[in-house]
Amino acid sequence: LAVVCIGDGAPAGNYGYTNSGYSVYEEENDRLTESLRTKVSAIKSLSIEIGTEVKNQNKMLSEMDNDFDSTGGLLGATMGRLRTLSRGSQTKLLCYMMLFALFVFFVIYWIIKLR
């Protein structure tokens, strides 16, 4: 029974790799695998944090939408009152404007006098 040697004296069953050379490749693969595992773990934690942030932002947007809806309703009611006021007689509107102007005048006069 003869053993055929290839290359640098390695038996034919190892396909030209020596035991020490093979272990170098195995160690390199283990090191790269561990590096990849660390990177995947970092990406996983980052994606979980992004998901949490997205949920918080969606909640905040929903609350803002509700606030804008209520503000829009309040503004609509105010505009309705203004339309009702403008449909009234012009004399009444002019009287309200004069009273408001007098009120502002007295407030300004009072502020200046207190100085």
- Block means of pLDDT (10 residues each) for the chain, length 115 residues? 48 52 87 95 96 96 90 85 72 82 93 84
* pLDDT value of residue 53: 96
* pLDDT value of residue 18: 54
Give the Cα separation of 21 and 1 in Å (integer): 27
**How long, in residues, is the chain?**
115
* pLDDT value of residue 19: 57
CB 33 within 8 A of CB 27: no
* pLDDT value of residue 3: 47
* pLDDT value of residue 89: 67
Give the Cα separation of 30 and 36 in Å (integer): 10
Give the Cα separation of 42 and 110 in Å (integer): 67
Per-domain residue ranges for the chain? Answer: 28-89
pTM: 0.46
